[in-house]
Structure 1
């Protein structure tokens, strides 16, 4: 049985886009023996098993510019590669420190699949230090996968490596989103709780690139009677709450996966106001679309967001950071039920045809075959 070592920042039960993708890929191919190496969210190094897959979580002592730090990681990674001898390393980028470690210890005979989640754009001051490692990693990789053609075509970093770039979309687990008959009452309870009014729903971390301030600004211009439900939290939560005085905006805080399903099925419009390429794909966007919750997005140059949801086909897309146009788009969907239903069905179908593991798996299988696995 061929062996695949997945190198991710974190892993389930840690929740995040990269972590979810890593888990889906690892668990979707039981014909390979997979192991995970990642950071722990504490100082201790812990070995565990998740759904039959061995996971080694390396303790870290801090972070700098979103990079977790660990001195022991190098030795642990080196030992795992030398002793376990994986046939393929699947590395989830960005993770600069571990990329540097990997380049030091990876044998020439071991294949490297570089899963390029996003360019490093935020940490501009330290990027000159990271770029040589990133360049060496791209040269060493046998194949580089990106999550959308939009991201591939717009990335200046990847332009010199186009010959080895393939598109492997992110995937969602639709089984946890399907509504069972006995759960329909939970959805109705949410609608009843808010007086049967139309619902606009947001979920995500409350950080700058998620664009929540534009959603709150747009709320002032939304004419239709509705409730805007904001789930999740983050460093901007308290600031956002203080800036919003509208009674029709409700901050829900963190919600469970089960609650998320109910809210997605209850809501009419999915607010996805992300504004930068830090939003490279939008797993939450795809989940909402599957649940027929129609999205409103901003145009983000080079992001896969506007490939996941297609303007005037699966939802509405407006000029980046334009709160007034965002409000008009939300109103359009809230007022026009037939249009919203049309987009909802198209959105659901697009996810089923493109972003489920069943559909993406064959693309990954071809990559594995091309690598000789």
Structure 2
């Protein structure tokens, strides 16, 4: 089967959707894959990434975080003509490429929408996007969502639930496997914080990631511990200015190796996201793989509370309740046996459900359904004739 992925961007651009697309492209097994995406520069380029053809469309302008380019029509048409896909897999939400695709997708090509998220933030332009979204869903043969929670709560998907399949996101296990000598580097992280329990956060410092709630919750935590905040973003300087506690440490952006050491050094992973903009939580799965139990908020319709199971792999508290969040942190720090049990459960859950092979197996089931459907259609057409 020849599968053409349409993603917003692609490697070496790093992003949650882009990583998932890359895992699917590079672990497709017997399937052949290619990608159409935007180029971060204003130039049309066709290149090869790890043996896979990538058509990059020049970005002319960005409007409400959506890249736009009239070049997209020509590049997508070329990709379809040259690659001759059996399946086109659109990574949503990426409305402009979807609109272009609807003008030219061949009738005999199957369409999968990989529904990473609803359009939530851009409410003022959603009325213009909604007709594209509906047309795409009507044309789709299958819709892939990343959790049962998102399937059941997404309003646009409700009329099309018979097409919906759950294919969970995945983390790259190889980035977090321990090697010889890593124990010394992990110990060095612990030593730098005087071997106090580490409550670790990593992510973009933006509103829906909930970092302000974590900073506020720190005030109510009674245990002797430190809060280590990695990453950066628009809120970084504001939060640094507001935070007066000497046990909160902003460590900036970490490379992959450093991130691994911090995860294993941490006692608790703080994941205080507050809205469905956090559709799944790959960073959450990464921490859990490293035997770090998490504290999360309840987020209606998000997969976060499916990844981290309350009282099994971590703790979950009412959304936005800083005092309850602090109490959960205190509970885990003050109870090492409970924390160790949840750490083991967290690692096991990721191994069982959220590695790349798990995602690929579920995605292949979806592809096989399409193949069966196409064979059935051919047989029925033969009978009718």
TM-score, L = length of structure 1:
0.97
Secondary structure of 2:34's counterpart equals strand
Matches within 5 A, 1:36-51: 36-51=35-50
Q: Shift in Å at residue 79 of structure 1? A: 1.4
Matches within 5 A, 1:196-235: 196-235=195-234
Question: Would you identify which runs of 4 or more consecutive aligned residues in structure 1 move more than 4 Å?
Answer: none
Match of 1:144 in 2: 143
Q: Shift in Å at residue 181 of structure 1? A: 2.3
Q: Shift in Å at residue 353 of structure 1? A: 0.7
Q: Shift in Å at residue 198 of structure 1? A: 0.6
State whether residues 34 and 83 of structure 2, in contact with CA within 8 Å, keep that contact through their aligned partners in structure 1: no
Q: Give 5+ residue unaligned stretches, structure 1.
A: none
Q: Shift in Å at residue 56 of structure 1? A: 2.1
Match of 2:275 in 1: 276
Q: Shift in Å at residue 345 of structure 1? A: 0.4
Q: Per-residue displacement from partner, 1:305-345 (whole Å, max 9, x unpaired)?
A: 00010100100000001111101111111111111001000
- Tell me how large the CA RMSD over aligned residues is: 1.1
CA distance in 2 between counterparts of 1:37 and 1:274 reads 31
Matches within 5 A, 1:131-280: 131-280=130-279
CA distance in 2 between counterparts of 1:51 and 1:222 reads 47
Q: Per-residue displacement from partner, 1:210-249 (whole Å, max 9, x unpaired)?
A: 0000000001111111111111111111111111111111
Match of 1:112 in 2: 111
Secondary structure of 1:73's counterpart equals helix
Q: Shift in Å at residue 53 of structure 1? A: 1.4
Q: Shift in Å at residue 44 of structure 1? A: 2.4
Q: Per-residue displacement from partner, 1:246-278 (whole Å, max 9, x unpaired)?
A: 111111111111111111111110000000000
Secondary structure of 1:109's counterpart equals coil
Match of 2:60 in 1: 61
CA distance in 2 between counterparts of 1:92 and 1:130 reads 15
TM-score, L = length of structure 2:
0.94
Matches within 5 A, 1:14-29: 14-29=13-28
Q: Shift in Å at residue 14 of structure 1? A: 1.5
Match of 2:292 in 1: 293
Q: Shift in Å at residue 33 of structure 1? A: 1.5
State whether residues 167 and 362 of structure 2, in contact with CA within 8 Å, keep that contact through their aligned partners in structure 1: yes
Q: Shift in Å at residue 68 of structure 1? A: 1.3
Matches within 5 A, 1:346-365: 346-365=345-364
Match of 2:29 in 1: 30
CA distance in 1 between counterparts of 2:259 and 2:12 reads 16
More off after superposition, 288-297 vs 230-239: 230-239
More off after superposition, 218-227 vs 138-147: 218-227
CA distance in 1 between counterparts of 2:17 and 2:167 reads 13
Q: Shift in Å at residue 46 of structure 1? A: 2.8
Q: Per-residue displacement from partner, 1:152-189 (whole Å, max 9, x unpaired)?
A: 01111111000000000001111111111221111111
State whether residues 223 and 330 of structure 2, in contact with CA within 8 Å, keep that contact through their aligned partners in structure 1: yes
How many pairs were matched up?
372
More off after superposition, 208-217 vs 23-32: 23-32
Q: Rg larger in 1 or in 2?
A: 2
Secondary structure of 2:254's counterpart equals coil
CA distance in 2 between counterparts of 1:86 and 1:358 reads 23
Secondary structure of 2:295's counterpart equals strand
CA distance in 1 between counterparts of 2:159 and 2:335 reads 46
Matched, 1:369 2:368: yes
